[in-house]
Structure 1
Amino acid sequence: MVYTVGLTGGIGCGKSSAARLFASLGAAVIDTDEIAHQLTALGQPALASISAAFGNQYFHSDGNLDRARMRQLIFSDQTAKIKLENILHPLIKQQAMNALSECTAPYALIVVPLLLETGNYDELIQRKLLVDCTEEQQISRTMARSKLTVQEVQAIMATQIPRNERLALADDIITNTGEFSSMQTQVLQLHETYLQATK
């Protein structure tokens, strides 16, 4: 299978920006959040399982998943969160594995927000890459991007392992506390490192 790096980081740290930079250099990017979004689109089989588990109150009248209401539920109810993960995570992982098996790029990045928390992808990846910033930056960036309150961002952060633990578990780290050009430089260096690792 293709050489694979697991890309992760706390909410608001800049995972998507880093992934786009790697993609521009020729890496394949498999984003598990995007897969989850596709799996929960109208007409997808996962919706029937979600409806059976949670009821129709988490759906709009047109049959689309009420993502905002579901998000509020799973970040306030750990049992509901686990129930949803048990439905979606096996489907997401299978899609990611399918994409890896078809990959023709020099190496692949799997973007997994909870990579370090779950260990679900450990057997697929050779390196764990963390995008890191301060907790204050996580909160301010997420609030600006997603229009969430401080409390909502902190609730999401509480489901992720603390920053110091993420830093200790990572093989490689991109520090995203300053200018975008700094991230570009770090990505380019890691890109060369990963290309060398594939040889």
Structure 2
Amino acid sequence: MDRKTMRELVFADVEAKNKLEQLLHPLIRETVLEELAHISASYTLLAVPLLVETGTYLKMVNRVLVIDCEEATQIHRVMARSKLTEAEVRAIMLKQASRKARLAFADDVINNDGTSDSLQSQVDTLDTLYNELSRQINQ
């Protein structure tokens, strides 16, 4: 798939974006449900990029974790990863849920602006919390 062409199309044409989402979202949701049926871990994390925009998975989860960073960090990382200009990244961000909106949905937040040690500490803390909550739910 030509990701650049697809990105340009769906961010420029609302109807094309809606058609793509109508095709993909049910398939993705079905796959997620199938995978969840086979998981035996004490807890599971679903990575849902459009959680705030669609709300689709909110009924399936007990908590919402947001991995957050400053806007400047986000822009820099996307530019480096996807080879986009700052203007292109900002245009995409304007069509997505804002940082404020994502944080409003969050039960838990990991700040991803710091060091890898800081990140690991936050992950460890949440792992402990999620294992404890899982034990409480499954008693």
Same structural fold, with TM-score higher than 0.5 when normalized by the shorter chain = yes
Q: Once the two structures are superposed, what CA deviation does each residue of 1:126-183 show, in whole Å capped at 9, x if it has no partner? A: 1000011111111011111111111221122112211112112211000111112111
Pick from 13, 21, 25: which aligns with 1:77? 13
CA distance in 2, matches of 1:166, 1:89: 20
Tell whether 2:94 aligns with 1:166.
no
CA distance in 1, matches of 2:58, 2:101: 17
| Match of residue 4 from structure 2 | 68
Structure 2 counterpart SS, 1:127? coil
Compare the two structures and name the one with the higher strand fraction. Answer: 1
Compare the two structures and name the one with the higher helix fraction. Answer: 2
CA distance in 1, matches of 2:109, 2:102: 10
Letter of the 1:137 partner, please give it: T
Aligned positions of 1:141-156 closer than 5 A: 141-156=77-92
Fraction of identical pairs, as percent: 49
Q: Once the two structures are superposed, what CA deviation does each residue of 1:36-77 show, in whole Å capped at 9, x if it has no partner? A: xxxxxxxxxxxxxxxxxxxxxxxxxxxxx3332111100111
Q: TM-score, normalised by structure 2?
A: 0.92
CA RMSD of aligned residues (A): 1.0
Structure 2 counterpart SS, 1:110? coil
Aligned positions of 1:80-119 closer than 5 A: 80-119=16-55
Q: Tell whether the 8 Å contact from 2:52 to 2:101 is kept in structure 1 after alignment.
A: no
CA distance in 1, matches of 2:95, 2:36: 28
Structure 1 counterpart SS, 2:52? helix
Bigger RCO of structures 1 and 2 (CA < 8 A, at least 6 apart): 1
